[in-house]
Amino acid sequence: MRKVGFFRSIQLKFIIIYILLLLVAIQVIGSFFTVKLEESLVESFKGSIMDRVELLSHNLAQAFARERDEDNPDEPTLNEEIQSIVSEVQADDITSLQVISNQSRVIATSDYTTQDDIGKKTTNSYVQGALTSNAPQPDIRAKANDRFYILAQPILDKDDSDIVVGVIYLEASLESVYDQLSNISKIFLRGSILAITVSAFIGILVARTITKPIIEMRRQAQNMATGDFTQKVNVYGRDEIGHLSETFNDLNNRLKHSYATIEEERRKLSSVLSNMSDGVIATDNSGSVTLINEAAGRLIGYNPDDMIGEYLLDVLQLDEKMVDVTELQDSGSMIIDFSDEEQAFIVRANFSTVFDDEDEVTGFITVISDVTEQEKIDQERREFVSNVSHELRTPLTTMKSYIEALTDGAWQDKEIAPKFLSVAQNETERMIRMVNDLLQLSKMDAEEYPLQKERTDFISYYHHIIDRFEMHIPKHIALQREIPNGSYHVWIDKDKMTQVLDNIISNAIKYSPEGGTIKLKAEQKRHYLLISIHDQGLGIAYDKLDKIFERFYRADKARTRKLGGTGLGLAIAKELVEAHHGQIWAKSKEGKGTTIFFTLPLMNQKRRGAS
């Protein structure tokens, strides 16, 4: 992994770039140097050849111009003299040297292998060019992988430079020049390799100097990615890399502060979401759940971790009401019913849309809350208003009918008028009782109905209540007491508790059949007294038993209204018992009567002593 990392690192790239730049520089310098050196050596070689050719041309021009005595046999001929001059030319680099007359005949040659060409005409193009143009004809040609310098130099008349008396033709090998050039190139190559090696080593050091802070910054960036902001990047200088290191350290400090702030806000948000009683669900713009708190999981009945990625409309069971999640933008708030056959469960969902800086929708926030009790209270309030209206309308309608009858002349009938007035008076009294009960309940709800509690022996107090009822009880109903002896002290408001017992016992008397018996009991439990009143009436259905303590509820509405009840007695009794820190409930079987139970806390020893 380290090798792969090195080959992909910026350090190797620095080294390669450095060496490539050096190679390009050396290549350019080497190419320029080689070309110029070759030109210099070749020109120097040509100059050397030309110097010798000019000297040879001067000597040959004198030879061509000398007058000879043909009668003197010891005097050499022109051809012999020219051959002698040519033979004296000593040059290892000149491989072939010929002198040609102006008639294109070979007069002399330095190459013994071509002695047969003497006296023969030559068709050499260079020679012909020199004869016709009266100018040198230089050229470089390759023969058998060797390079030669070819020169055809015209020999001018000594007295008239416009007359060509002959031509010097030579071929000189350039291999010595190129051998010298090759040796110099090899020396230059070895020097270049040495320079590249040294430069590469220096380049590695330079690259390490440049990349070491970068490597440290990369390592620190990886640590920062994991949330570690404790380390710092070393600053090795005041150059650009040093300034970058300082800036990186400053960035590290700022990120540390920002990360700490964000982490603190995240913990606050997490704490808020975890402790909210309302559920919060966040989704992306497609409606997939990205965040859900525990409260939302409890409300919808699913594990929050399992809901991540689910579609919001499916989670809230809105797939039948909405086609697409974008419809939530205009929804604002709605009631969602999760009720089943066993339990009522209603939630309110408030939707809000999240926008980015460009007003594009990035997600949705849904806040759900349990409004089952609120909806239940609202329903009870509506039923209460309806019941009050109904209960008041019935006597008012009756009174209106009778008063209209009296107005129409029935008041003159001495038999009918008293009956009508009696009915109107009874209905008026019933409405007054109802209004008084409503006012009492209202004060209880507003906690404006203070209790005047005192230490009371409940047994004697209970007997006193029963004695009062026995004085006015109908003859066809009997009261049976099952009350223990002794003293059991409770802390109660006698007037309010008398109202409780009056309501319960009055109901028992109302619903008891002829010959029925009402059992009034009191039992001592560990910390409280259990009081019960049992009648032998028709009883109450099981599904209606818990509702008899609700306001205006009547198990038998027709009979209750006939007996003058307001439907508020047991509701008031419940409020008063609970105000005394007790509980009240009922048991009943249809056809076998009803029993009302309630409890009162017994005074402990400390309270008794204080009393």
**Measured distance CA(565)–CA(507) in Å, rounded:** 9
For the chain, state the CA radius of gyration: 65
Measured between alpha carbons, how far is residue 405 from residues 171, 394, 401 in Å?
Answer: 163, 17, 6
Q: Phi, psi (5° rounding) for residue 364?
A: -135, 145
Q: Which among 478, 541, 472, 465 is positioned nearest to 504, based on CA atoms?
A: 465
Strand 478-482 to 517-524 pairing: parallel
**Measured distance CA(164)–CA(155) in Å, rounded:** 6
The vertex-378 CA angle with 373 and 379, nearest 5°, equals 95
- pTM, full prediction: 0.41
SS3 603: coil
Over residues 495-540, the pLDDT tens digits come to 888 888 988 998 888 888 888 899 999 999 888 999 999 998 888 8
**pLDDT score of 448 more than 90:** no
Look up tokens 């020109």; give the residue.
Answer: 43
CB atoms within 10 A of CB 72: 8
Mean residue pLDDT across the chain: 80
Look up tokens 């350290």; give the residue.
Answer: 249
Q: Which among 322, 412, 339, 417 is positioned nearest to 376, based on CA atoms?
A: 339
Q: Do residues 173 and 145 make contact, with C-beta atoms less than 8 angstroms apart?
A: no
Percentage of the residues of the chain whose pLDDT score is greater than 70: 86
Q: Which CATH class, in words, describes the domain spanning 10-182? A: alpha beta
Over residues 344-373, the pLDDT tens digits come to 778 888 888 888 888 888 888 888 887 777
* Of the candidate ranges 218-227, 550-559, 584-593, the one whose mean pLDDT is the lowest: 550-559
Q: Do residues 351 and 332 make contact, with C-beta atoms less than 8 angstroms apart?
A: yes
Over residues 449-494, the pLDDT tens digits come to 677 889 999 999 999 989 888 887 877 888 999 999 888 999 998 8
Q: What is the DSSP string of 91-128?
A: -SSEEEEEEEETTSBEEEES-GGGGGGTTSB---HHHH
Q: Do residues 15 and 204 make contact, with C-beta atoms less than 8 angstroms apart?
A: yes
Q: Which residues pair with 479 in a beta bridge?
A: 518
Q: Do residues 535 and 594 make contact, with C-beta atoms less than 8 angstroms apart?
A: yes
Count of CA atoms in the C-beta half-sphere (13 A) of 471: 5
Query: Looking at the chain, how many residues does it have?
Result: 611
SS percent in the chain: helix, strand, coil, step 5: 55, 20, 25
Q: Which among 53, 47, 68, 165 is positioned nearest to 110, based on CA atoms?
A: 53
Q: Per-residue confidence at 72, pLDDT binned at 50, 70, 90?
A: low
Look up tokens 């906690």; give the residue.
Answer: 447
**pLDDT score of 559 more than 90:** no
Over residues 401-443, the pLDDT tens digits come to 778 777 777 777 777 788 778 777 777 776 776 677 666 666 6
Q: Do residues 584 and 596 make contact, with C-beta atoms less than 8 angstroms apart?
A: yes
pLDDT recorded at residue 391? 63
**Measured distance CA(478)–CA(444) in Å, rounded:** 34
**pLDDT score of 90 more than 90:** no
**Measured distance CA(89)–CA(58) in Å, rounded:** 13
Over residues 11-67, the pLDDT tens digits come to 677 778 878 888 888 888 888 888 888 888 888 888 888 888 888 888 888 877 776
SS3 356: coil
Could you tell me which CATH number the domain at 376-445 has?
1.10.287.130
Secondary structure of 267-310 in the HEC alphabet?
Answer: HHHHHHHHHCCCEEEEEECCCEEEEECHHHHHHHCCCHHHHCCC
Q: Do residues 283 and 364 make contact, with C-beta atoms less than 8 angstroms apart?
A: yes
**Measured distance CA(325)–CA(310) in Å, rounded:** 12
**Measured distance CA(127)–CA(154) in Å, rounded:** 8
* Of the candidate ranges 69-83, 240-254, 575-589, the one whose mean pLDDT is the lowest: 69-83
pLDDT recorded at residue 561? 46
**Measured distance CA(598)–CA(525) in Å, rounded:** 12
Strand 94-101 to 137-143 pairing: unpaired
**Total H helices, total E strands in the chain:** 16, 17
pLDDT recorded at residue 521? 94
Q: Which among 291, 288, 296, 282 is positioned nearest to 338, based on CA atoms?
A: 296
Q: Helices 494-511 and 569-579, interaxial angle, to 10°?
A: 140
SS3 358: coil
pLDDT recorded at residue 444? 64
Q: Boundaries of CATH 3.30.450.20 in the chain?
A: 10-182, 276-370
Amino acid identity at 155: I
Secondary structure of 497-526 in the HEC alphabet?
Answer: HHHHHHHHHHHHHHHCCCCCEEEEEEEECC
**pLDDT score of 595 more than 90:** yes
Q: Which CATH architecture has domain 276-370?
A: 2-Layer Sandwich (3.30)
Q: Phi, psi (5° rounding) for residue 455?
A: -70, 125
Ordered alpha helix ranges (H), 276-311: 294-300, 304-307
Q: Which fold has domain 454-610?
A: Heat Shock Protein 90 (3.30.565)
DSSP 8-state symbol, 77: P
The tokens describing 57, both together, are 């041309």
Q: Which among 534, 540, 542, 541 is positioned nearest to 516, based on CA atoms?
A: 534
**pLDDT mean over 206-230:** 78
Q: Do residues 78 and 64 make contact, with C-beta atoms less than 8 angstroms apart?
A: yes
DSSP 8-state symbol, 51: H
Q: Boundaries of CATH 3.30.565.10 in the chain?
A: 454-610
Residue 50 CB burial class (10 angstroms; 0-12, 13-18, ≥19): middle
Q: Do residues 515 and 551 make contact, with C-beta atoms less than 8 angstroms apart?
A: no
